[in-house]
Amino acid sequence: MFLNSWWWRRGAGLLLGLAVGLGLPGGVQAAAVTVQILDPAGKPLAGAVVAVEVGSVARVAAPGARAEISQRQRTFDPGLLVVQTGTSVDFPNLDTVRHHVYSFSPARTFELKLYNGRPSSPVLFDRAGIVVLGCNIHDQMVGTVVVVDTPLFGRTDAAGRVVLEVPAGEHRLLAWHVRMREGTDLLAQSLKVGPTGAVAVTVPLPVVAAP
């Protein structure tokens, strides 16, 4: 009896943990939404960012949300980071040369002047949008932070697909790819999810040819 109730509580806690992890209120029914991203020629686009804004889910991350982009061998690692609005990002420099990381993007204009090691404070991304990163010293260093008003996001695999667990209702589906013209924001369309059953959506993105 003791064991039974212990397992039951532990199981319930794990399930609640999963729901919280997805940012969904406990007990909310979610459906698997498969999104496939295609280029203008109809070919699958790998590495595209897909996000779903859901009315019942907090737009801003819980306080203390952190992420990291290292500078390693004169590149940003990862070169593309997706975070929820309200996330603070650290920019540790793992190289022996100094870097000078900056962005002129309207969603987050900032500058980390010439530094080694870990800057004393992270950069808070408090507005949704595309933030392009550069380094004043190394022109070839380019990175991107995609900031979205939702914890429900992912990136497409080699087949151009990503699966997200989305609660029933009318939502906003956002998609973006690094090969979209510079200055292009995430592309939005409506997404309807019924109370049961999986949903599949195909989204063509206006990307330019790979270099």
Name the residues that contact Cu ion, by CB under 5 A: 99, 135, 137-138
Query: Which C-beta is closer to Cu ion: that of 127 or that of 138?
Result: 138
Which residue, 143 or 151, has its beta carbon nearer to Cu ion? 143
For the bound state, the minimum distance from the C-beta of residue 11 to Cu ion, rounded and expressed in Å, comes to 49
Distance, in Å, from the CA atom of 47 to the CA atom of 50, rounded to the nearest integer, reads 9
List the strands of the sheet with 66-68, edge to edge: 66-68, 87-90, 123-125
Q: Which is nearer to Cu ion, 130 or 135 (CB)?
A: 135
Minimum distance of Cu ion from residue 100's CB (angstroms) = 6
Respond yes or no on whether the N-terminal peptide bond of residue 44 is cis (omega within 30° of 0): no
Q: Two tokens at 194?
A: 């019924």
Q: Could you tell me the smallest distance in angstroms from the CB atom of residue 75 to Cu ion?
A: 9
| Residue nearer to Cu ion on the CB measure, 82 or 135 | 135
DSSP H or E run through 49:
strand 49-53
Rg value, the chain, Cα = 19
The closest of 37, 45, 33, 48 to 171, measured between CA atoms, is 33
Find the angle CA(24)-CA(30)-CA(31) to the nearest 5 degrees.
145
In the bound state, the residue with its beta carbon closest to Cu ion is 135
- The distance of closest approach from Cβ of residue 29 to Cu ion in the complex, given in angstroms and rounded to an integer, is 47
Residue 134 or 167 having the CB closest to Cu ion: 134
Structural tokens at position 163 = 């699966």
Q: Are 71 and 114 a contacting pair, CB within 8 Å?
A: no
Smallest distance from the beta carbon of 143 to Cu ion, in angstroms?
11
